[in-house]
Amino acid sequence: MSKKKKRDIEKNYPIKDFISKLRRLADSLEKGEKFEIKIAGERIYVPAHATYNIEHERGEGQEEIEFQIKWSIE
């Protein structure tokens, strides 16, 4: 398998698209299945064994919540 390039992007979506992606993620989690998502033109395959966490950050004049999904590349 070829090595993937490093990538660090942030993609904004209209609220309807964001909700749709969250619903598909929740459905995959409930079924114990992998999750597929396309972000900025690249298809990402999230394995069912991924780790899920929520992060909260507070800084100067703003707050942020990140829903994170992490897994090892095998």
Closest among 41, 63, 42, 32 to 52, alpha carbons compared = 32
Q: Where are the domains of the chain?
A: 15-70
- Dist CA 73 CA 47 (whole Å): 10
pTM of the predicted structure, to 2 decimals:
0.79
CA distances from 27 to 14, 24, 33, 64, 69 (A): 20, 5, 9, 25, 15
- pLDDT given for residue 2 in this prediction: 61
Q: What is the mean pLDDT of each run of 10 residues along the chain (74 residues)?
A: 79 94 95 93 93 96 95 85
62, two tokens: 């703003």
- pLDDT given for residue 4 in this prediction: 77
**Helical (H) or strand (E) element with 58:** strand 51-59
